[in-house]
Structure 1
């Protein structure tokens, strides 16, 4: 029986193609359009090149049409219902991918076609396509893309070939999951467009591939390192001013973020839309630049020296009194609950005065010549001792003035150092809050 069917198959093939030509459109009525049904199955996403805006995909393309010259009676050929022959034997519609971006213009694979007894031809062919895709990276790495695959006849207009979509969506049954992209859907839509070159309408079927990027890789390799590095920037304010590493830390963090910024820029297309992660990098780098500049300004205040002017009264009240308590900035010897009391500003008795003796401060000396043997009495008796006593008084007064000036300069320097320390602590918490808010905003896009 099988041998008989084989002989009938050869006879059927010989009879079908005896007077057949695959160069003409197989329609009995040339005024009527030939219906071609298209169905696309997405098998795999091979690559998504964001920089060149090219989507490479592996598709299974099925085209179904009726050839009026390739039908037969099954009873005449031992009940043969269908045959499979090379696709080059029959006429095929010139359905092409309109937005093809392949430089070699490779089409579908030359597979066999299935011909039924009623003339219906089914052509299933796999194809690796490279299509142009408009990429919007504004929300990278939490972005989604819409890539279109537009199929239509290249030479036949709508009056000759009517292209139809078999289903409202592309087939995703055999799709192999991609590690970077998640496919949300693949709706299909039939369009009829009249181009400027021709007056006839040209139908096409457009499949819109909805993709969503899996952001886990970019979160752990680009985003989290940047967040951790950016949290180091406010700690530069916590370093002691005498360590000499405050500015170095800010510059090091800035260089590290620049490296991550270059990595993102290499993979993104050179468009005007800045990626979300790029905006985060730029904002963080701007913040670190501002923190480094403020660090230099605060270090200048810290090292102002003894020749600086006294701290203004408003700064003493606002910074040294209120802000120092808020940010728990105390000097050595001060208590966090009760600050060190200020020295008694009551006036001291001048050197050599004959009045009542007041308490002597560390920078002042009190000299009473009455207690010196032969002091005032000796001055009355001889001018030599009086001249020696005046010289001693001048020397002691000079030393006392030096101690007084040194103490005042030391006090001014200490006040300016405390002002710098309070400002360091204030800006540290301000920049910590800024880094935290920016990190929450960028992470919120992943939800």
Structure 2
């Protein structure tokens, strides 16, 4: 019975309050107008307290410089014509009615960037017996924000939300901030941006159009970008691609892929550069990652040009000039040891040396005429020996027999014995003349072949020296560009830290 009596009493009380609420509504708005500012003295300013709660950051459009946020806006003011005595209405102290029934301050977002100019939702207001009106309304705002992408993706932004009355000046409505900062207790964490703070500041500004002051409350939203996404999707691929560029110098020149590698790396970086440019505003401030891309692309372009130059040195033909003396000393001797470039048969411990402790052979120091004269003398001696051997074998081939005495021949039906006539002496002279002429032609042919062999060997030596010069330059530029890529990567990573 007690429970039933309690429920019946509460239902009676609620029903009674509902009747008093309708009576209060009729009494309050019988002669009320929501068109005029509800103050008793029109010369006094009405105080409006503003409080903004940030619920969520929906989007940050860097290219169009627009911040889209979800806010809860609370406005509190006193209406001089909406007051009542609680005792006359059964202790009723608050009522909730649609906000369109009462006068509302025209507080708007000054830096609004919404093309539809949608305001707050039409929610109810809470009216207290002493005339205090509290209006809580959620709003999705699009505000203009000056975006500085100089240090993208390690940048931070400061976006301002300025609230003020559009038509009432400071002598009519004075805006006060409820707290020195925006409320972040109900903020939903954003995956891209981290909130560092939201300080609030009241400003009183006199615009050029009007002489009256206009107060406003500005909330500064301090944001810091979470760079993990951009590091793993834009920065690290660029760093890895950049380290491929110096390896083009390590490729053998005969492979034919040195220039192709440089061009491929350049095209890959161009694609990443376009991806960054599409999301950034077209301003004069080039983002940090864009500077890194441009520097890397410039380095790869220079490496490709140097590769073409080095390949021309590598593939120079036999008609190339000899390697200059300074290049032989500086590049082939010192730089080749520093960068561990050795020919076949050499090692870092026992470099290849020529005869007599690296000195040239005597034959290489002689001029061409002396060398040809010595070679001719050697060949003539060999030819005389060959001719004497042929003369000794000639009687056997011509069916001639040797005499018992040395130097004597017997004729077998064609020539008399030695000392018997002049034919034998003429035959000997003719044979000697024929052999000498034949050996002279042979000597010329052998000398010609020897000259060709020397020229070919000298050309091969020049070509080998130029190839070694190209290889040393390849190793030198490879380490130079490796160091450049490393320092650029460390620099941009240092900005991240």
TM-score tier by shorter-chain length is over 0.9
TM-score (norm 1): 0.95
Report the Cα offset of residue 387 of structure 1: 2.0
Give the secondary-structure state (helix, strand or coil) at the position aligned to 1:229. Answer: helix
Residue 166 of structure 1 corresponds to which residue in structure 2? 178
Closer/same/farther in 2, CA of residues 353 and 46 from structure 1, 3 Å limit: closer
> Max radius of gyration: which structure?
2
* Residue number in structure 2 paired with 1:19: 31
Equivalent residue number for residue 413 of structure 1 = 463
Map residues 323-342 of structure 1 onto 2, 5 A cutoff.
323-342=335-354
CA offsets per residue over residues 227-262 of structure 1, 9 Å max, x none?
Answer: 111111111101100000000000011111111111
Residues of 2 paired with 1:316 and 1:131: CA distance? Answer: 69
CA distance in 1, matches of 2:384, 2:157: 100
Q: Which residue of structure 1 aligns with residue 91 of structure 2?
A: 79
- Over 3 Å counting, the alpha-carbon distance change for 1:354 and 1:266 in structure 2 is closer
Q: Which residue number in structure 1 is paired with residue 110 of structure 2?
A: 98
Q: Distance in 2 between matches of 1:123 and 1:97?
A: 16
Aligned counterpart, 2:415: none
The answer as to 2:331 corresponding to 1:346 is: no
Q: Distance in 1 between matches of 2:265 and 2:67?
A: 36
Q: What is the rounded CA distance, in whole Å, between the counterparts of 1:428 and 1:187 in structure 2? A: 52
Alpha-carbon shift at residue 397 of structure 1 (Å): 1.2
Structure 2 counterpart of 1:265: 277
- 3-state SS, counterpart of residue 482 of structure 2: helix
2:52–2:182 contact (8 Å) kept in structure 1: yes
Q: Aligned ranges for residues 29-48 of structure 1 at < 5 Å?
A: 29-48=41-60
Give CA-to-partner distance per residue, 1:110-135, whole Å, 9 cap, x none: 00111111111100000000001111
Residues 391 and 54 (structure 1 numbering): CA distance in 2 closer, same or farther, change over 3 Å?
same
CA distance in structure 1 between the aligned counterparts of 2:255 and 2:380, rounded to whole angstroms: 42
Paired residue for 2:420? none
For 1:445, the equivalent position in structure 2 comes to: 495
Corresponding position of 1:190: 202
Q: Contact 1:369 / 1:376 at 8 angstroms: preserved in 2? A: no
Equivalent position of 2:266 in the other structure? 254
Who is 1:388 aligned against? 438
Q: Distance in 2 between matches of 1:101 and 1:47?
A: 13
Give yes or no for contact 1:352–1:368 (8 Å, CA) kept in 2.
no
Paired with 1:350 and 1:389, the residues of 2 have a C-alpha distance of 19
Q: 2:195 touches 2:224 (CA, 8 Å); kept in 1?
A: yes
Alpha-carbon shift at residue 335 of structure 1 (Å) = 1.8
Partners of 1:379 and 1:81 in 2: CA distance = 155
* 1:109 and 2:117 are equivalent in the alignment: no
Cα displacement (A) at 1:350: 4.1
Is 1:28 the counterpart of 2:40? The answer is yes
Q: CA offset at residue 395 of structure 1?
A: 1.4
2:310 maps to which residue? 298
Q: Deviations over 1:87-126 (max 9, x none)?
A: 1111000000000010110000000111111111100000
Structure 1 residue 19, shift from structure 2 partner: 1.0
Helix, strand or coil for the counterpart of 1:29?
coil
CA gap 1:366/1:285 in 2 versus in 1, 3 angstroms: farther
Q: CA distance change for structure 1 residues 226 and 121 in 2, over 3 Å: closer, same or farther?
A: same
Shift of 1:353: 4.2
User: Contact between 2:376 and 2:447, CA under 8 Å: does it hold in 1?
Assistant: no
Contact 1:82–1:117 (CA under 8 A) maintained in structure 2: yes
> What's the offset of the Cα at 1:385?
2.4
Deviation at 1:372, TM superposition (A): 2.9
Aligned length: 440
Whose helix fraction is larger, Structure 1's or Structure 2's? 2
1:154 aligns with 2:166: yes
Within 2, Cα distance between the matches of 1:296 and 1:218?
34
Going from structure 1 to structure 2, the CA distance change for 1:203 and 1:14 (only over 3 Å counts) comes to same
Supply the distance in 1 between the matched residues of 2:31 and 2:169 (Cα, whole angstroms): 27
Note if contact 2:375-2:447 (Cα within 8 Å) is conserved in structure 1.
Answer: no
User: Counterpart of 1:433?
Assistant: 483
- Aligned equivalent of 1:403: 453
Offset at residue 77 of structure 1 (A): 1.2
Aligned pair partner of 1:211 in 207, 223, 229: 223
1:375, CA displacement in angstroms?
8.4
Query: Cα 1:416–1:437, aligned 2, differ >3 Å: closer, same or farther?
Result: same
The structural deviation recorded for 1:384 is 2.7
SS in 1 for 2:496: coil
Mapped partners of 2:258, 2:14: distance in 1:
90
